[in-house]
Structure 1
Amino acid sequence: MNKCWCGSDLDYSVCHQEFDKKINYYKKRGVRTPPRSMIKNQKQIEGIKAAAVVNNGLLDHIEQNIKIGMSTEDIDVMTRKYLKEHNAHSADLNYEGYPKSICTSINNVVCHGIPSPNVILKNGDIINVDATSELNGYYADASRMFMIGNVSKEAERLVKVTKEAMYEGMKAIKPWKSHIGDIGAAIQRYAHINGYSVVEEFCGHGIGMTMHEDPYVFHFKPHEDTVLIVPGMVFTIEPMLNQGKRNVHLNFNDDWTVYTDDGLLSAQWEHTFLVTEDGVEIISK
């Protein structure tokens, strides 16, 4: 038996032989194609999906319990307890020195907000909770926006449109036809139609065997060629839309928290997606 290069332990002729014929067809026509390292086999996909069950459950648990008067540290404690009970780990904790198990970004915080006992959720806040869970060496990543109490119509609309923009990016995923850059173009177009700007400093990314892998998934139309989208790719789409201008800055006191320059609101949604022969599957949300 000629084992397939993907590590599936299946014979190449029944696993990725036809896939490689398609890749070579596009390569010969000058299309930028993804390297084999971006392609997951079935065992890996099953492992990622198992991690996603935990990650989805964690965000469900937070959604059921988040409330006015809770500190963002309470959310971190909830995260640690939930992951321990499910034999999983936070991929955020100690990642390049990040000190907590989850990210909590409120109002004008764009991303990477660090949980703190001093940050208390108030009526009218919007908060992004971003979780990445590792289970048995596989990773899944997602974030959700939560509206605390009675939020303004402006905040509610931003949260809604940001989620819709992520799904516009998902609609651009067409196996063997579209490119990674098409995702960003669709997101940017939808955001601008609705009067919002798109943060360009952060992106979606491949995921599965590690927390961050290729490809780099733009949330705006890139000025470069991007790889063809093909079955077996697993990546996140996680646009950050700002109420005002797209400009952001880093809090140099903690080297993590990112704010809007103008102090206006920001929102983010993130799912992990699997590209299939027929289209796309949401794995973690």
Structure 2
Amino acid sequence: MFKRRRPAIQVKTPEQVELMRAAGLLVGRTLELLREAVKPGITTMDLDTLAERHIRDNGGVPSFKGYHGFTGTICASVNEEIVHGIPNAAKTLRDGDVISIDCGAIVGGWHGDAAITVPVGEISAELRRLLEVTEESLWRGLAAGRAGARLTDISHAIEAHIRSQGPYGIVEGYGGHGIGTEMHMDPLIPNHGAAGHGPVLTAGMCFAVEPMVNLGTKETAELADGWTVVTTDGRSSAHFEHTFAVTPDGPRVLTALDEGREWFAKLESDTSP
């Protein structure tokens, strides 16, 4: 009887992590550009065009465009659309919507991947709280990604925060992943589960962490386009993502403009006696 082997995790040299930082910075700056562009009346295709131009003008290649036939530079998922929404010139954003924008770029053969959920105009307090809970769960997951930890320590940190905030639906079947010379690599990182399982994290490993949280049920369905994933109850969802590297000094968030310093300082102050 053969023992099942865990899939190998790509480990980068410090020099290769720096190359990933270049890709991550381009993704982070693209998302900030899109955040500023989101307003009532803009279409998801307008945002896609803006993203592609910015990535290519700055020496990158969109990761998503052409990936298994996907037609967009970004995934643009509005309201009940959780992930993988296809940009569409006929899809106009309206006041009170939320849009999740997932973006990837390749620079010098290395990938960066991140996502934000942005309010369109004025949104309800319930939706704003959903965004806050989801984003903080991402950062708690990232903070758990330290050398010597186990992979599911990330998953547990995400789930524990969300569960403590209310009866939200944590999406299953979709999650984070390894990243490096390819956009999607082993291992899968669920957004739920017990701590203390999976591979031990070591310096040079890089992962994309991406909680997806629904106002209602965790149940999902894929639309006939073969891409767009939606909530089955029609209630809204939020999605945040960052790419990070495990380092001897702690997690380094490659797609955050400040590498995560502000958020990590906030989390540390929240837990201080």
The question of a shared fold, defined as TM-score above 0.5 by the shorter chain, is answered with yes
1:227 aligned partner: 199
**Aligned-residue CA RMSD (Å):** 1.9
Q: Is 1:241 matched with 2:241? A: no
Q: Report what 2:58 is aligned to.
A: 86
What residue identity is the alignment partner of 1:238?
A: E
> Corresponding residue for 2:241?
270
CA distance in 1, matches of 2:29, 2:249: 27
Question: 1:28 is matched with which residue?
Answer: none
Cross-structure match for 1:14: none
Partners of 1:223 and 1:67 in 2: CA distance: 40
When structure 1 is superposed on structure 2, of 108-117 and 57-66 the one drifting more is 57-66
Q: Secondary structure at the match of 1:284?
A: coil
Q: After the TM superposition, which of the residue ranges 103-112 and 190-199 deviates more from structure 2?
A: 190-199
Question: Residue 187 of structure 1 is aligned with which of 142, 158, 165?
Answer: 158
* Contact 1:52 1:283 (8 Å CA) reproduced: yes
Contact 1:175 1:229 in 2 (8 A): yes
1:42 to 8, 11, 14: 14
For residues 10 and 123 of structure 2, the distance between their equivalents in structure 1, rounded to whole angstroms, comes to 41
Opposite residue 93 of structure 1, the aligned amino acid is K
Determine helix, strand or coil for the equivalent of 1:193.
helix
Q: Gaps spanning 5+ residues in structure 2: where?
A: 257-273
1:130 aligned partner, one-letter code: D
Deviation at 1:53? 1.7
1:41-190 aligned at under 5 Å gives the runs 41-176=13-148, 178-190=149-161
Label 1:249 to 1:124 Cα distance change in 2 as closer, same or farther (>3 A): same
Q: Is the 8 A contact 2:81 2:228 kept in 1?
A: yes
TM-superposed CA distance for 1:223, in Å, is 9.8
Aligned in 2, Cα 1:40/1:237: closer, same or farther, shift over 3 Å?
Answer: same
Q: Does 1:207 align with 2:179?
A: yes
Aligned identity (percent) is: 33
Kindly provide the amino acid, as one letter, of the partner of residue 246 in structure 1.
Answer: K
In structure 1, C-alpha distance between the alignment counterparts of 2:136 and 2:237, rounded to whole Å: 15
- Quick one: distance in 1 between partners of 2:61 and 2:71? 14
Give the residue type in structure 2 aligned to 1:209. Answer: T
Mapped contact 1:33–1:227 kept (Cα < 8 A): no
CA distance in structure 2 between the aligned counterparts of 1:249 and 1:49, rounded to whole angstroms: 34
Tell me by how many angstroms 1:100 deviates: 1.1
Encode CA deviations 1:223-267: one digit per residue, 9 max, x unaligned: 994111111111011000111110000002x10000001111110
Is the CA contact (8 Å cut-off) linking 2:104 and 2:113 kept in structure 1?
Answer: yes
Aligned length: 252
Distance in 2, Cα, partners of 1:113 & 1:35: 29
Tell me if structure 2 keeps the 8 A contact 1:199–1:247. yes
Following the alignment from structure 1 to structure 2, what is the Cα–Cα distance between the partners of residues 33 and 250? 31
1:194 aligned partner, one-letter code: Q
Q: Which has the larger radius of gyration?
A: 1
Gaps of 5+ in 1: 1-31
Q: Distance in 1 between matches of 2:124 and 2:5?
A: 45
Assess, with a 3 A threshold, how the Cα gap between structure 1 residues 141 and 101 changes in structure 2: closer, same or farther: same
